[in-house]
Amino acid sequence: MKKSLVVLSTAAITLMAVSCSKSSGDSDETTGNWVSRSAFDGKPRGFAATFNIGDVVYVGTGFNYAELNGAIAYRDFWRYQPNIGQWELMAAVPGYGRSGAVGFSASGKGYIGLGNDSLSHAMNDFYQYDPTGNTWTAIAPFPATDGRYQAVAFGIKDTGYVGTGSNPGGSYRDFYKYDANANSWTQIESCPGDKRSGSSAFISADTAGYVVAGANTGSNALNTDFAYYKPADGHWHSLRPIFNKSSDSYDDDYSDIKRTQAAIFVIGSNAYLSTGAQTPGGTPFTKTWLYDIKNDQWTRRTPFEKQARTGAIGFSFSGRGFIGLGSASSSQQLDDIVEFQPNVTEDTND
């Protein structure tokens, strides 16, 4: 997901006991409704990058496998205001066009970097966006000199955090923080569990960053571990795995949370994970899960009602959640934007 940078309302993470009994209402695939919004004004694409600055969403880069002159990675960059459904073309991201890049925001600035170009070369360059002047500035490159793509990133207060991802050498789980004042990267603890690429990330109350799902491109195994990083103590903290592991009933239905190249966004105190595929390069699917951060528990919600896809973007805006763009197949990229209404009963006519 880039992922987008979104905030949960809880100020601290507390794991709470969950009853072994479970009512029929705990998982409901008819709770929530997907509604089409203003389509992206750029060309259809998958694996774009996104971030929020204030009440504005920014989207750019990405890849189209089906251009007339061959597959192409993009540099164009757009500002989106969901409240009026308006897209505006901004200054292009410097460097080569790229796909599978990451984006984050911190202290009123936006950042895009990493990814792979039209020839599938992994990159490690990074750029800072200043919305005041609509300008880009090159910053210190990511420390992994061989580059990577399909990593994750999030911003917490004045610091950016970037890690995981893959390149032709395999997948990774190392993580780094970026200090804008010093224009420098510092390695922090690695993300727990297996190496991963194509994971999803979100933030909670500007105090913790979460990384979930993805796959190890070396073994093609989906990641089932789940953890958050807390800058206040400088450590990762493991959460319940996203498969049926315990003897309790809360995870009996955890059959299809794990996935790769999915989109994620936050509404209120819940994160929503949707789209993606259950094998790297596999057939996209639409299953959607709500994650209750306070109780560290997942429940089903209405599956994504538009075309299944991988490499979509997810973002939040003023308490609303969206998924857009993505790749339905190698020959079909998408340009739609779809809003999820969490408290509305499914309506297939939207």
Per residue in 101-152, pLDDT tens?
Answer: 999 999 999 999 999 999 999 999 999 999 999 999 999 999 988 999 999 9
pLDDT at 280: 87
Over residues 282-300, mean pLDDT = 97
pLDDT at 349: 66
Strand order in the sheet with 297-301: 263-267, 270-274, 288-292, 297-301
Token couple for 232: 């206040």
Where residue 170 falls (left for φ over 0; alpha for ψ -120 to 50; beta otherwise) is: left
pTM: predicted TM-score of the whole model, two decimal places = 0.91
Report whether 116 contacts 73 (CB < 8 A). Answer: yes
pLDDT at 68: 59
The residue behind tokens 């251009």 is 67
The residues near 274 (Cβ < 8 Å, ≥ 6 apart) are 262, 263, 264, 286, 287, 288, 289, 303, 304, 314, 323, 340
Per-residue pLDDT band at 3 (split at 50, 70, 90) = very low
The residues near 221 (Cβ < 8 Å, ≥ 6 apart) are 194, 215
Separation CA 8–CA 201 (nearest Å): 12
Over residues 303-323, mean pLDDT = 97
* pLDDT, tens digit (0-9, with 9 covering 90-100), for 12-38: 333 233 333 343 345 589 999 999 999
* pLDDT, tens digit (0-9, with 9 covering 90-100), for 221-247: 999 999 999 999 999 999 999 999 999
pLDDT at 9: 34
pLDDT of residue 67 exceeding 80, the answer is no
